[in-house]
């Protein structure tokens, strides 16, 4: 596969263009690097424990000319994108890595990836009928809350802040399950909203000093509960 140069769609304030190596040519370069995974509903990558770098996952349709159908940036936990329904269900998943604080596409380099056909592709989501319960938790007055739809939970990081932010998505009612977590320092944090029996969720935003990677070091900032 030839090297690909594609325009980067903005996600987490990553802008510009990025030359991606073809997976066949890069197989030897990936070595023992952890690869992403893909199912009929989600492509995901577990960020290595203890990493201090910024990671990006991208999902492309195949065959070429391909189209980028998802991109997420994070620094800890698991980053994931929805797998859409396509005519052939063939995809390429790329993982890229950059130094801590990276905000430009040229700062990221290819880390690992795969090409796979997933018959029956297409994400399952809750019905579109969002009912947001409003801000919850301590110290929420005046703080920007996250948003949630049947597709995404999102939080737009306030401009000019030099802090680490964490977005978490939980199922409801209790006992709840953590469905997703992403950490970033700029742009918009995003998590996929899965199909559940109740379609009830809690979305929390937490904040910590710049460079923080341990979830335990974050303090609560704002949140919502919702039926989507």
Please determine, for residue 138, whether its predicted confidence score (pLDDT) is greater than 60. no
Please determine, for residue 9, whether its predicted confidence score (pLDDT) is greater than 50. no
Rounded mean pLDDT of 167-192? 90
Please determine, for residue 123, whether its predicted confidence score (pLDDT) is greater than 60. no
Rounded mean pLDDT of 159-181? 91
Whole-angstrom Cα Rg for the chain: 18
CA nearest neighbour of 214 among 25, 54, 52, 42: 52
Counting beta carbons within 10 angstroms of the beta carbon of residue 50, is it exposed (0 to 12), middle (13 to 18) or buried (19 or more)?
A: exposed
In this structure, the answer to whether residues 70 and 12 fall within a common structural domain is: yes
pLDDT score at 208: 95
**Strand-by-strand arrangement of the 54-61 sheet:** 68-74, 54-61, 90-98, 109-117
Query: Of 88, 117, 146, which marks where a domain is finished?
Result: 117
- Torsion region of 122: left, alpha or beta (phi above 0 gives left; psi -120 to 50 gives alpha): left
Confidence tier at 8 by pLDDT (50, 70, 90): very low
pLDDT score at 127: 66
Cα–Cα distance, 157 to 116 (Å, whole number): 34
pLDDT score at 39: 85
Please determine, for residue 228, whether its predicted confidence score (pLDDT) is greater than 70. yes
For residue 122, being part of any structural domain is answered with no
Cα–Cα distance, 207 to 44 (Å, whole number): 24
CB 41 within 8 A of CB 123: yes
For residue 55, being part of any structural domain is answered with yes
Phi, psi of 86, deg, nearest 5: -130, 170
Which range of residues forms the domain containing residue 13?
Answer: 4-117
Cα–Cα distance, 4 to 181 (Å, whole number): 30
pLDDT score at 57: 94
Query: Of 117, 147, 169, which marks where a domain is finished?
Result: 117
In this structure, the answer to whether residues 59 and 8 fall within a common structural domain is: yes
pLDDT score at 204: 94
pLDDT score at 125: 67
In this structure, the answer to whether residues 103 and 37 fall within a common structural domain is: yes
For residue 126, being part of any structural domain is answered with no
Phi, psi of 152, deg, nearest 5: -140, 145
In this structure, the answer to whether residues 222 and 166 fall within a common structural domain is: yes
pLDDT, tens digit, 9 for 90 and up, residues 183-218: 999 889 988 888 787 889 999 999 999 999 889 999
For residue 63, being part of any structural domain is answered with yes
Task: Find the CATH number of the domain harbouring 10.
Answer: 2.60.40
How many domains, in total, are found in the chain? Answer: 2
Rounded mean pLDDT of 56-80? 92
In this structure, the answer to whether residues 149 and 108 fall within a common structural domain is: no
In this structure, the answer to whether residues 112 and 25 fall within a common structural domain is: yes
In this structure, the answer to whether residues 42 and 90 fall within a common structural domain is: yes
Cα–Cα distance, 182 to 83 (Å, whole number): 18
In this structure, the answer to whether residues 113 and 56 fall within a common structural domain is: yes
In this structure, the answer to whether residues 52 and 148 fall within a common structural domain is: no
pLDDT score at 54: 94
In this structure, the answer to whether residues 146 and 218 fall within a common structural domain is: yes
Query: Of 117, 151, 181, which marks where a domain is finished?
Result: 117
Rounded mean pLDDT of 11-15? 38
Cα–Cα distance, 179 to 94 (Å, whole number): 22
Confidence tier at 151 by pLDDT (50, 70, 90): confident
For residue 124, being part of any structural domain is answered with no
In this structure, the answer to whether residues 9 and 113 fall within a common structural domain is: yes
Mean pLDDT of the chain: 80
Q: What is the pTM of this model?
A: 0.50
């Amino acid at each position: 596969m030839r090297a690909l140069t594609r325009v980067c769609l903005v996600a987490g304030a990553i802008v510009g263009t990025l030359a991606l190596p073809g997976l066949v040519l890069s197989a030897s370069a990936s070595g023992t690097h952890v690869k992403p995974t893909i199912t009929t509903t989600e492509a995901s990558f577990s960020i290595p424990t203890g990493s201090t770098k910024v990671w990006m996952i991208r999902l492309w349709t195949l065959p070429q000319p391909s189209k980028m159908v998802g991109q997420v940036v994070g620094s800890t936990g698991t980053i994931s994108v929805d797998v859409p329904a396509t005519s052939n269900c063939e995809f390429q998943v790329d993982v890229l890595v950059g130094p801590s604080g990276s905000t430009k596409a040229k700062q990221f380099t290819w880390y690992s990836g795969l090409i796979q056909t997933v018959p029956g592709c297409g994400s399952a989501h809750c019905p579109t009928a969002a009912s947001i319960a409003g801000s919850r938790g301590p110290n929420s007055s005046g703080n920007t809350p996250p948003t949630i739809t049947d597709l995404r939970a999102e939080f737009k990081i306030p401009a000019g802040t030099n802090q680490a932010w964490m977005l978490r998505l939980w199922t409801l009612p209790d006992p709840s399950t953590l469905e997703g977590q992403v950490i970033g320092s700029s742009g918009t944090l995003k998590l996929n909203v899965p199909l559940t029996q109740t379609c009830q969720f809690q979305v929390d935003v937490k904040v910590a000093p710049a460079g923080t990677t341990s979830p335990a070091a974050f303090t609560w900032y704002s949140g919502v509960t919702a039926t989507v």
